[in-house]
């Protein structure tokens, strides 16, 4: 598709496709494709993170929707999973989140949810894209009396706060000291409040958004920021969210970041012990460490491996009837509670395990060993099909033959940026470095690296 990537539409604000003109057409397209004759289904929830461009896009998107007879509910800045939850709980036809997740403030995007709270299928995204690009007939204008209305809703925060706490049975966090870094993003208000209401002592950081400081040396991309505050305040752990709070990264009591795979492992094992891991299976992406697979095999847990993207993990869980999965980047899906990755909900589930087992995060995270791994992101000027790059393909085959069961390589393009990602993993750290250098050289020769 020309507009939709692995996670909605994304790009630089005020440049195609993240323009008011495209947002207005997107509003009309969503109304056309997702309109329902069911009770109260002629409405759409629009959320946003804290980027300054959110005002521009929210206004244009609203105009497109109301011009097609849809009512729009505007809760203001809220995490992406909160919009997914509100879409379903308020009986809306769709939910739209304006965010570029972990990207800098210059970027923005649209994530669209259906009435069930799940991200749209590729087929629906393709239909919406055709309407946006004008490949489908223009809709007939609505008569004036059928134009929709836009409402600011004041109870959205409260609805999500109570839902999030309920997923962890309102467990008491009394006695825990937590650093909460919201990255100046969508969770800046509600995340600290939730942990505080449950009894934790909260040290806040990244909770003063100004429209341009989102993800700026804070949040999930910079867990060392929370780690420094953990050491400074003698906290039990740090919790860092990305810009739209659909993922979370933890730091232990020493201020050391805990890998997403270790969090996946401890959560899966805890659910398995409680008999809540449906089918004794969990799902992860191809980016997860081989050590996670090893730990799950020991526990008798089946691992479903999917392409990158939390939507792919969710689809695997829905298809196989699983209840838990995620990405090592910090997306965790507790499918019995949520329809998408939810950083706040995930943090509450991890805190719950700590309280119930009376264990530190480091103790729980020791449930698996990690194979040495390195991931390199290279900016590229173009994205020719990898299968057409003879030199790189030859090197990949050589690596597979040399690694056997002791390691792996994974090379792919980013779905949202002009980057190629090179992952090498092996029991031997020197082997990892050797092959990273070989692959980097091959990419530079076959594609060239952007300045």
Q: Yes or no: say if 28 and 139 are a contact pair by the CB < 8 Å rule.
A: yes
User: What is the rounded CA–CA span in Å between residue 249 and residue 237?
Assistant: 11
Pairing status of strand 177-181 against strand 150-152: unpaired
Q: Residue 101, annotated ligand binder?
A: yes
- 68: tokens are 């097609």
Catalytic residues: 101
358-366 CB contacts, 8 Å cutoff, 24+ apart: 360/236, 360/252, 360/253, 361/236, 361/237, 361/250, 361/252, 361/253, 361/258, 362/252, 362/253, 362/254, 362/256, 362/258, 364/266, 365/252, 365/258, 365/259, 365/262, 365/263, 365/265, 365/266
Helix (H) or strand (E) holding 32: helix 20-34
Tokens coding 103: 């990207």
Q: What's the CA gap between 218 and 444, in Å, rounded?
A: 31
Q: At what angle do helices 190-197 and 343-357 cross, to 10 degrees?
A: 20
442 phi-psi bin (left φ>0, alpha ψ -120 to 50, beta other): alpha
Q: Are 246 and 83 in contact (CB under 8 A)?
A: no
Q: Which residue has the tokens 């806040």?
A: 204
Alpha helix ranges (H) inside 76-155: 80-89, 122-132
Buried b / exposed e over 164-185, threshold 16 CB at 10 Å, is bbebbeebebeebbbbbbbbbb
Nearest Cα residue to 146 out of 30, 66, 92, 29: 66
135 is in an annotated binding site: no
Q: Is 259 annotated as a binding residue?
A: no
Is 143 labelled as part of a ligand binding site?
no
**Beta strands in 141-297, from DSSP E residues, in sequence order:** 150-152, 177-181, 201-205, 237-241, 248-251, 257-258, 281-285
Task: Give the side-chain half-sphere CA count within 13 A for 145.
Answer: 0
In this structure, the number of other CB atoms found within 10 A of the CB of residue 191 comes to 28
The secondary structure element, H or E, covering residue 65 is helix 53-67
φ, ψ dihedrals at 139, nearest 5°: -70, 150
Binding site, annotated residues for Mg(2+): 101, 242, 244, 246
């Amino acid at each position: 598709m020309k507009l939709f990537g692995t996670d909605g539409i994304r790009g630089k604000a005020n440049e195609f496709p993240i323009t008011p003109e495209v947002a207005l057409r997107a509003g009309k397209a969503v109304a056309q494709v997702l309109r329902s004759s069911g009770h109260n289904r002629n409405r759409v929830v629009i959320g946003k993170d804290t980027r300054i461009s959110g005002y521009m896009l929210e206004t244009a998107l609203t105009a497109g929707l109301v011009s097609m007879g849809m009512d729009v509910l505007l809760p203001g800045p809220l995490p992406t999973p909160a919009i997914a939850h509100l879409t379903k709980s308020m009986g809306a036809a769709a939910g739209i989140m304006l965010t570029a997740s972990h990207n800098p403030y210059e970027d923005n995007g649209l994530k669209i949810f259906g009435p069930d709270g799940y991200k749209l299928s590729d087929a629906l995204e393709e239909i919406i894209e055709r309407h946006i690009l004008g490949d489908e007939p223009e809709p007939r204008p609505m008569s004036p009396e059928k134009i929709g209305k836009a409402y600011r809703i004041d109870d959205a925060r409260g609805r999500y706060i109570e839902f999030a706490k309920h997923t962890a049975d309102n467990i008491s966090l009394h006695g825990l000291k937590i650093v909460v870094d919201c990255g100046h993003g969508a969770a800046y208000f509600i995340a600290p409040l939730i942990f505080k209401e449950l009894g934790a002592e909260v040290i806040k950081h990244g909770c003063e958004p100004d429209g341009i400081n989102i993800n700026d040396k804070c949040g999930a991309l910079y867990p060392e920021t929370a780690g420094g505050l953990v050491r400074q305040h003698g906290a039990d752990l740090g919790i860092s969210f990305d810009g739209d709070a659909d993922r979370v990264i933890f730091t232990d009591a020493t201020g050391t970041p805990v890998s997403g795979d270790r969090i996946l492992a401890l959560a899966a094992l805890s659910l398995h012990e409680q008999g809540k891991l449906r089918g004794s299976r969990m799902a992860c992406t191809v980016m997860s460490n081989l050590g996670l697979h090893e730990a799950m095999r020991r526990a008798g847990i089946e691992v479903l491996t999917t392409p990158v993207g939390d939507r792919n993990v969710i689809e695997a869980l829905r298809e196989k009837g699983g209840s838990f999965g995620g990405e090592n980047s910090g997306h965790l899906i507790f499918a019995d509670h949520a329809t998408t990755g939810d950083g706040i909900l995930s943090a509450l589930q991890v805190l719950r395990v700590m309280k119930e087992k009376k264990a530190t995060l480091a103790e729980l995270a020791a449930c698996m060993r990690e194979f040495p791994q390195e991931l390199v992101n290279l900016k590229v000027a173009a994205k020719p099909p990898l299968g057409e790059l003879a030199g790189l393909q030859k090197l990949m085959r050589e690596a597979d033959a040399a690694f056997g069961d002791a390691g792996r390589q994974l090379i792919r393009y980013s779905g949202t940026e002009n980057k190629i990602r090179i992952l090498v993993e092996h029991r031997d750290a020197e082997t990892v470095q050797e092959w990273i250098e070989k692959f980097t050289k091959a990419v530079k020769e076959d594609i060239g690296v952007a300045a």
